[in-house]
Every structure is written in C-alpha cells, then in structure tokens.
Amino acid sequence: MAKNIQAIRGMHDILPDQSGLWLFLEARIMDVLERYGYREIRTPIAEMTELFRRSIGDVTDIVEKEMYTFDDRNGDSLTLRPEGTAGCVRAGIQNGLFHNQIQRLWYRGPMFRHERPQKGRYRQFYQMGVEAFGLEGPDIDLEVIAITRRFWQALGLEGLQLQINTLGTADERVLYRECLVDYLSDRKELLDEESLRRLQTNPLRILDSKNPQMHELIEQAPTLMDYLSEPSRRHFEQLCAGLDALAIEYVVNPRLVRGLDYYARTVFEWVTDELGAQGTVCAGGRYDGLVEQLGGRPTPAVGFAMGLERLILLLERQPENLPVTPPDAYLVMVGEAAQATGIKLAERLRDHLPELRMLCHCGGGSFKSQFKKADRSGARYALILGEEELARDVIGVKPLRDTSEQQDVGLSQLAEYLRAIL
Ligand code: ATP
Ligand code: MG
C-alpha cells in the first residue's frame, strides 16, 4: 500500500487543540494594535524574487540559502515570502501609501525559510509585525517598543529581556566597517569558515555569529557606538531616555546587528533564555533606506516582527495564563420530536444569547450515550430534551461540573434563565 503523504518537513499543522491558544495570542495582539491606531495590511504570500534580493540583500542568510524560489509557468522567478517588510514596502510604494503620509501598519501570516528545523525554528512559521512609515524621530521608535512591552503584559508573559543597539547610518557604517575588517583581518586564524567568507561580503554580520568559539573575538571587536555621528548619537540617547521615562527596562547590546541589511540606527530584540538558541521572540529596528532602495521616495521607517511559534511555546510554559473555553451548554435531544424542536430552540437561543457557546448533539442515540458526549465536551450544563420534557413544555438544565440539582425550565423562559446563570 502506498505510504500516506506527510506534511513537508519543517511545516506544521496547527490542530484544533492548539488553535485556541493561537486565537488567544492573535486576539490579544490585535487588541493592543488597535489601541495604538495601527491598521492591518495584507500582502500576497508570493512576490517577485527580485523584491527580496533588492531589499534583504544578496549576501544575507535568507537570500543566500533560505528562500523558497521557483519559476512559475510563465518563467517568472517567484519566492514565498521569507519575511513581511519587503512586501509591505512594495505595496506601499505601488499604492502611493507613502506620499506625504504617515502609515502605522501591521501584518500577520506565514513566512517561509529553508532552515534546519528544530524547536522554535521551522520552514513555514508565522509572524505578526508592525511597520511605521514617514516618521524619523526616536519618538516612534519608542512607540513601537512600548507596543511590544504591552503585548507581553496582555499575554501574561514574563521574563523577556529587551536589548537595543544602534547601527548608525549607512555612511557611518562604512567607516566602522573598515575598522572592523582591519581588526578581524589581523585575527583571521580565529575566524570560522562562514566568518571568513563574510569578511569579504558582509563583515558586520560576523558580530551576529552564533558560533560560541567566536564569542571572545566578537566581544573585543571595536563597536559601532564609537563611530556614530552627532545626530545618530542623539537619536539613540533620546530613545534611551524615552525608555527610562516609560520604565521599560533594557540592556544596550553593542553586538546586536540583526540579520537584514536594511536596518539603520535603532535595532532591538526581545529575548528569552527559555527557548535555547531560538531565544529571540521579537526583532526589529529602523530601516530608513529601504523605501528608496525599492524605488519609492525617501521615507523613514521603523518596525518589528514576532515569531508566533516561539510566543506559543512560551505561553504553553505558563499554563496559568492559558485560555480555557469549553462550551457553556450541550443540548441533548432524544427522539425525533425532541430533535425537531431542539434544533429550532437552539437557533432561537443563539439569536437571543450571542455570547452563548453551545454544542448541539448530532447523530441520535440514547440519553446515556448523549450524556457521555456532553460530559466529554467539558460543557458546564447539559440541556435535556426528551419526550417527557416536550409533553410538559420544559427543558432539563443539568449542571455537569458540580453536584447541584437538575432544574426544569419552561421553554419560553430558557433564554432568560441561561442568561442569568452563565
Ligand atoms: P534567528 O536569529 O532566530 O534566525 P532572524 O534574525 O532570522 O532570527 P527575523 O528575520 O528578524 O529573524 O524574524 C523575526 C522573528 O521571526 C525572529 O525573532 C523569530 O522570532 C521569528 N523567526 C525567524 N525565523 C524563524 C523560523 N525559521 N522559525 C520560527 N520563527 C522564526
Ligand atoms: Mg534566521
């Protein structure tokens, strides 16, 4: 017999037992975003490959080795989006969203990267992200960071650490880059193979190396902070002062460089030590050059993206915060007449009680078998309709989670009764 087809490695189903937690996560996040006046943008999952090459940069991990790229039937090279910013910027330029306008946007959805799958690292994963366009000051950097802090509060997540750094502007990085290359070239024998290659192409990324053997070398490297211009320094200082004023704790991590090339000035990450090497749950920063790089007018921008699987892993570790949403009621109907009355009654109840979560038994069967299902559903109450109840124009309301007595309630009073007890 042929083997059953499996999901693609690194790509996962989110099963019904898990999706409640996902909905909880997304709802809390969306609620915060709405309170700050951010609006959703939805862009296609596939884009022209050129978009990612031009935005993320040819010498990044993502473009070098992680993209799902294929030719479509017309021979166009398409790529499943590895991240959300490029698509947002492309959409903004194409639709004129940046013409003398400020845009506060958010997005969510699956991203695709061909990485080695492990806990917290997948080939299809979900991100929610924020992008604010048209503002160049540290005040908007502070706002987006304040949003992230509020996410963790709304989700009941504790123990996340905020790390920040500044990358200066592109010009400042040129200067710094030279010094860094000098420093690293003098110590070539200490570089691993990947870093040797990066030394030619993208030396700043060496600071981002996850190889523990390189830590000391990186620790002692010159820092960009010493090469900043006055305006860049001031931008960073004002951001720090703002974080202090809002009592948002942070550490300055001069080694924080972020994987993507388009960042400028502010970069930040929220990290946890609970997820091993996959400890970054949210990463972002300022990318003032990107809109212009993709053909738009110069437009300052700042944003971040969160890995939702990693947040889910954290939520699962704090079960006291997990949402529990069993149904309120399970409607038991025995006999044809009861079934006919029951389905009408159920729709009427749903008309009157929009909050009610109710399962209606389907498939017939005895009282006993229906009760078993009612109990297994986790419902607080069984609503019982049999021939005997029908004859008296009542329904039995039986508490399933405590020992109190079953009550008979007149059918016409049922909605009111349930409203009172739920
Ligand atoms: P990492 O250093 O963990 O590879 P990154 O720098 O590649 O992360 P970004 O491109 O900044 O990550 O993406 C933002 C966030 O998306 C990350 O902080 C992480 O939470 C999440 N993320 C990135 N890649 C994956 C993946 N392959 N699987 C699950 N989540 C991911
Ligand atoms: Mg990565």
Residue 106 pLDDT: 98
327-338 pLDDT, tens digit each: 999 999 999 999
Which residues 6+ apart lie within 8 Å of 261 measured at CB? 56, 57, 59, 60, 202
pLDDT band for position 421 (50/70/90)?
very high
Asked if residue 310 has its Cβ within 6 Å of ligand 1, the reply is yes
Q: Which residues make beta-bridge pairs with 97?
A: none
Spatial contact of 307 and 279, defined as CB atoms under 8 Å apart: no
Spatial contact of 110 and 124, defined as CB atoms under 8 Å apart: yes
247-295 pLDDT, tens digit each: 999 999 988 887 566 778 999 999 999 999 899 999 999 999 899 999 9
Spatial contact of 261 and 204, defined as CB atoms under 8 Å apart: no
DSSP states along 175-237: HHHHHHHHHHHTTGGG--HHHHHHHHH-GGGGGG---GGGHHHHHTS--GGGG--HHHHHHHH
Of 322 and 75, more confident: 75
Spatial contact of 295 and 92, defined as CB atoms under 8 Å apart: no
Asked if residue 304 has its Cβ within 6 Å of ligand 1, the reply is no
91-116 pLDDT, tens digit each: 999 999 999 899 999 999 999 999 99
Q: Mean pLDDT over residues 206-215, rounded?
A: 86
Distance 291 CA to ligand 2 centre (A): 22
Query: In a mutational test of the pocket of ligand 1, which residue from 55, 127, 272 has the highest number of ligand atoms less than 8 Å from its CB?
Result: 127
* Cα 108 to Cα 127: distance, rounded to the nearest angstrom: 6
Asked if residue 127 has its Cβ within 6 Å of ligand 1, the reply is yes
Asked if residue 272 has its Cβ within 6 Å of ligand 1, the reply is no
Distance 63 CA to ligand 1 centre (A): 14
What percentage of the chain carries pLDDT values higher than 70? 99
Distance 210 CA to ligand 1 centre (A): 13
Q: What is the pTM of this model?
A: 0.90
Which residues 6+ apart lie within 8 Å of 143 measured at CB? 36, 132
* Cα 394 to Cα 385: distance, rounded to the nearest angstrom: 8
Asked if residue 280 has its Cβ within 6 Å of ligand 1, the reply is yes
